[in-house]
Amino acid sequence: MEQDSISSSLDWGKLSAEIESLLHLKYGPVAYKKLDKLKEMDKIPVLTRLDHQATFCQVPSMVRSAGITIGVTRNNFGARCARINGLMETTEEQIIKEANNFATTWFASAEEAKKQLSAYPLIPPGKALVLAPMAQGKFEPDVVLIYGNPAQMMLLMNGLQFQDYEPFQFFFTGEGSCADGLARCYNTGKPSLAIPCMGERAFGAVADDELVIALPPALITKAITGLKILRERRIGYPILHLGPISDPSGFLTQIYPDWFND
């Protein structure tokens, strides 16, 4: 993963508290890390090793709702979850099997399904994954996941764009939002907004109004700085609802003094 170097002295707890407060998040950010050696899990304090089969989307849900740190390996997941999220190589045999399954669900044929499977970004495999509340600062994350409603996600991206502007691209490969968000961010080092898929909603308890964004950890401070300045300029969450029949001039001229003087 290409990203800026991050100081190990960063106060992840403070950063988590700030972004939660600025956006009024229901749950705090989730830190994701891929481990290349299984024994590295032993260095992470108060870690629960998942001891049953699961889907990957259940893990961030447990982390963000229960506040626990979870370690998983290849044995916890089916091939699809494992190969997208950094626990196994992809083989042609797996592609054929998944395509045949998808031909009876999401796509018209196995050939159509293969088009989607070939579009997936995949995290290079390691030996284990650890996910934890970012607030606990147990490790330096590879990617940070933040769940929120569309207004919160919009303002978060506005904060990132406040300085050194760049447009953000949106991707929807289909069923598999961990590929659109987490895997794409890991591989590109760019913020990746995703629409949580059916799996995240059915197994991961993601609410109907929630989106998820995957962020390179190096950008957390940048987002917070931008959000703080926007709030000083009276742009923040929650967003005041004025309604379609109100006179907006009083509100708009507080933010844009010359709005009606063109």
- pLDDT digits 0-9 by tens, 182-229: 999 999 999 999 999 999 999 999 999 999 999 999 999 999 999 999
Query: SS3 of 120, please?
Result: coil
pLDDT band at 8 (very low <50, low <70, confident <90, very high): low
For residues 126 and 86, the answer to whether their CB atoms sit within 8 Å is: yes
- What distance separates the 2 farthest-apart alpha carbons in the chain? 65
Query: SS3 of 81, please?
Result: helix
Look up residue 211 and give its two tokens.
């989106």
pLDDT band at 260 (very low <50, low <70, confident <90, very high): confident
Helix, strand and coil in the chain, % to nearest 5: 45, 15, 45
Report d(CA 1, CA 32) in Å as an integer: 13
DSSP state of 4: -
Query: SS3 of 231, please?
Result: helix
pLDDT (tens digit per residue) in 83-127 = 999 999 999 999 999 999 999 999 999 999 999 999 999 999 999
* Mean pLDDT taken over the chain: 94
For residues 215 and 143, the answer to whether their CB atoms sit within 8 Å is: yes
pTM value > 0.75: yes
Q: What is the dihedral of CA 19, 24, 27, 33, to 10 degrees?
A: -20
